[in-house]
């Protein structure tokens, strides 16, 4: 057991939560739970045979669109005081320029139902899914993407940041680099391109432009309570050995995956590049002359081991040696302390853990997973990192993208045949952690 990890255990019982109130909660995204979807790149993707591992789709998912109160009741029982959810752009603008006001009103109702149960809403504007009409016009790579996104976001922010919903915590774009990777390099997600480095970097740069424009507009509203960030999927990259070339591989991966995007939106200096792409270099004035990030949204799932090889793609990344979850991802709680510390040192902003979770159908790993990650979070706090909240992914099982419905990330089990929901043992573990933190 390393010294850092030992300290985590020792600190696990110390009441180290400085933020007031500290946000304890859960999160999910529209497409993964809502059901009754409107046509999007992902509804199309799920119709293509072979794209979803178990052949399932998200046509019903957990039916959150209609049964949201059930989820908020469960979150209340958990003792949560925050809930992250996302807005489906394709519902609000099913055809270009044609806005569905009823859908926005429905989201307002959803947010108010969360508020009524003491849950602070954290609202994501884009969680991987694009309206079908936009895909037909070039999707993330379209030169119009930043403006179209900002116009959509502006509508949502104006409505939901106002009373009665009064949403303060906003995530513009969820995991831009994961989307870039899965959509343009591995091809597992729409638009299904493989090794398209140029497309990948164009998409990433466009998401940075969209984020900056969204925050610029939001700051003109003059509401100082509003807080914007992206949700950055941060992987801890560690070299296979101490050899300088493996360390260089770790540094390069860290920059490309973790920092390229964050630096762009923090400084307004876009520098997007990867082998095979053009070099995108552009400076966008920062909204109000300061970072567009009011806080950092951190999605933490694990670490990667890097090595430099002699043949393409030269930098190789693989899972670490520790125990794995159902998807073969290493569970590495120490990495959460490392990620928090690196983000704190690099950006100096409050950090909100907007996702952390595990695929574990049997729920024999999740109870420890939650406890160990919370301990790692406390350790980072004891080292001076300002963490404002922790949102477990996810409250219930949901549609896990290309893996389908088989992957189980929920504190609550969902029977997809009956839609019955049953809290797992880890639900109780997390409930106790929350309760004890308040004593």
Binding site for ligand BGC (CB under 6 A): 29, 32, 174-175, 178, 233, 299, 355, 393, 400, 409
**Could you tell me which of 162, 170, 119 has the C-alpha nearest to residue 352?**
170
- The stretches of 93-243 forming alpha helices (DSSP H) are 101-116, 132-136, 145-160, 176-184, 197-219
Would you say 43 or 381 has its CB closer to ligand BGC? 43
CA angle 75, 79, 82 (to 5 degrees): 60
Residues with Cβ within 8 Å of residue 330, at least 6 apart in sequence: 302, 303, 319, 320, 321, 322, 323, 324
Contact 397, 62 (CB under 8 A): yes
Residue from 215, 212, 230 nearest 171 by CA:
230
Shortest distance, position 32 Cβ to ligand BGC, whole Å? 6
Provide, rounded to whole angstroms, the least separation between the CB of residue 393 and ligand BGC.
Answer: 6
Q: What residues contact 125, with CB distance under 8 A and at least 6 apart?
A: 86, 87, 89, 149, 152, 153, 156, 157, 170, 171, 172, 173, 214
Smallest distance from ligand BGC to CB 84, Å: 10
Q: Which two tokens stand for residue 193?
A: 């391109």
The nearest distance, CB 409 to ligand BGC, in angstroms, is 6
CB of 355 to ligand BGC, least distance (A): 6
| For ligand BGC, the closer CB: 196 or 400 | 400
- Smaller CB distance to ligand BGC: residue 274 or 391? 391
Closer residue to ligand BGC (CB): 233 or 373: 233
Q: Which is nearer to ligand BGC, 83 or 393 (CB)?
A: 393
Whichever of 16 and 140 has its CB closer to ligand BGC, that residue is 140
Q: Which of 29, 160, 158, 152 is nearest to 106 (CA)?
A: 160
Q: Toward ligand BGC, which CB reaches closer, 118 or 192?
A: 192
Helix (H, G, I), strand (E, B) or coil at 222: coil
Looking up tokens 């070099």, which residue turns up?
A: 279
Q: For ligand BGC, give the closer residue by CB, 91 or 246.
A: 91
**Around Cβ 285, how many Cβ atoms within 10 Å?**
9
Structure tokens at 112: 């108010």
Other Cβ atoms less than 10 A from the Cβ of 98: the count is: 9
């Amino acid at each position: 057991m390393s010294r850092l990890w030992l300290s985590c255990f020792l600190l696990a019982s110390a009441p180290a939560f400085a933020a007031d109130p500290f946000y304890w909660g859960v999160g999910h995204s529209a497409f993964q739970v809502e059901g009754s979807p409107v046509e999007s790149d992902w509804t199309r993707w799920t119709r293509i045979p072979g794209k979803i591992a178990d052949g399932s789709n998200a046509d019903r998912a957990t039916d959150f669109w209609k049964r949201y109160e059930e989820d908020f009741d469960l979150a209340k029982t958990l003792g949560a005081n925050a809930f992250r959810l996302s807005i489906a752009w394709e519902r609000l603008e099913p055809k270009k320029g044609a806005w569905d006001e009823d859908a926005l009103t429905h989201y307002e109702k959803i947010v108010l139902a969360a508020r009524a149960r003491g849950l602070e809403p954290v609202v994501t504007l884009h969680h991987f899914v694009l309206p079908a009409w936009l895909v037909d016009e070039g999707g993330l790579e379209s030169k119009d993407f930043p403006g179209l996104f900002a116009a959509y976001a502006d509508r949502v922010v104006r409505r939901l940041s106002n009373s009665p919903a009064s949403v303060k915590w906003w995530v513009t774009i969820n995991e831009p680099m994961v989307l870039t990777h899965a959509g343009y390099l591995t091809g597992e997600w729409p638009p299904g391109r493989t090794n398209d480095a140029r497309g990948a970097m164009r998409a990433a740069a466009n998401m940075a432009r969209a984020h900056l424009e969204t925050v610029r507009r939001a700051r003109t509203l003059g509401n100082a309570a509003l807080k914007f960030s992206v949700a950055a999927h941060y992987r801890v990259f560690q070299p296979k050995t101490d050899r300088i070339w493996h360390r260089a591989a770790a540094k390069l991966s860290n920059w490309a995956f973790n920092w390229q995007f964050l630096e762009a939106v923090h400084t307004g200096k876009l520098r997007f590049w990867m082998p095979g792409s053009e070099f995108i270099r552009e400076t966008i004035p920062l909204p109000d002359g300061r970072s567009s990030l009011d806080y950092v949204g951190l999605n933490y799932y694990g670490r990667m081991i890097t090595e430099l090889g002699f043949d393409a793609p030269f930098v190789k990344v693989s899972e670490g040696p520790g125990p794995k979850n159902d998807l073969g991802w290493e569970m590495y709680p120490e990495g959460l302390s490392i990620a928090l510390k690196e983000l704190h040192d690099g950006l100096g902003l409050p950090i909100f853990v907007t996702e952390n979770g595990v695929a574990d159908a049997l729920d024999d790993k999740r109870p420890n997973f939650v406890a160990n990650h919370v301990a790692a979070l406390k350790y980072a706090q004891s080292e001076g990192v300002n963490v404002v909240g922790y949102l477990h992914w996810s409250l219930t099982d949901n549609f896990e993208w290309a893996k389908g419905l088989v992957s189980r990330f929920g504190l609550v089990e969902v029977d997809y045949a009956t839609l019955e929901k049953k809290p797992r043992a880890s639900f109780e573990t997390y409930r106790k952690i929350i309760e004890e933190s308040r004593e």
